[in-house]
Amino acid sequence: MAILVMVGLGLLDFLVAGLSLFIGLAFIAFIASILCAAAFFNNAKDLSS
């Protein structure tokens, strides 16, 4: 029984770590895409004029 609980907690810990990593990477990717879009529009504005 105790081994089953330990395995269950280990699996839960792994899932929570994976989920937080996924959320963190998604947040970083979101910020990076906004910065890239801002830089692109800034350059496009300079080229068009």
Mean confidence (pLDDT) of the chain: 90
For the ranges 2-6, 35-39, 43-47, the maximum mean pLDDT occurs at 35-39
Average pLDDT over residues 32-46: 90
Say what the pLDDT of residue 25 is.
98
Say what the pLDDT of residue 31 is.
98
Whose tokens are 């929570």? That residue is 16
Domain boundaries in the chain? Answer: 23-49
**Terminal-residue alpha carbon distance, the chain:** 72
Say what the pLDDT of residue 21 is.
96
